[in-house]
């Protein structure tokens, strides 16, 4: 089991909408994540900077960041593009983070 983390940026004033959309995550997207080996997925918000911090446990070296070629993920990106910083293809601008400490 591998752990991975990355950060993204939420647009100002979009906290409630971001939470609402994730509380109503599409079942087919949730199933895709689980079927792809993502066993845990948490997203935290630093409200001072609007930085989103995401953490995942994955079965191999993959994770949600590797699912961008699927239609459901592309549809989700389009759906979320108005509430967060995105790339030209509407994928979230994300920066992978290096793990520097882990206590088990």
Which of 3, 20, 22, 30 is catalytic? The answer is 22
- List all residues 6 or more positions away from 2 whose beta carbon is below 8 Å from its beta carbon: 57, 58, 59, 60, 61
Per-residue DSSP letters for 7-26?
EEEBPTT-HHHHHHHHHT--
| Residue 22 among the catalytic residues | yes
Sheet holding 95-97, edge to edge: 38-46, 51-58, 2-9, 95-97
Residues with catalytic function:
22
């Amino acid at each position: 089991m591998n752990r991975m983390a990355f950060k993204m940026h939420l647009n100002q004033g979009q906290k409630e909408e971001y939470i609402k959309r994730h509380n109503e995550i599409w079942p087919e997207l949730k199933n895709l994540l689980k079927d792809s080996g993502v066993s845990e997925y948490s997203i935290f918000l630093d409200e001072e900077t609007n930085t989103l911090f995401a953490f995942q446990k994955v079965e191999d070296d993959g994770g949600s960041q590797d699912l961008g070629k699927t239609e459901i993920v592309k549809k989700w990106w389009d759906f979320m593009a108005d509430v967060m910083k995105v790339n030209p293809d509407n994928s979230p601008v994300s920066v992978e983070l290096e793990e520097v400490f882990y206590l088990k």
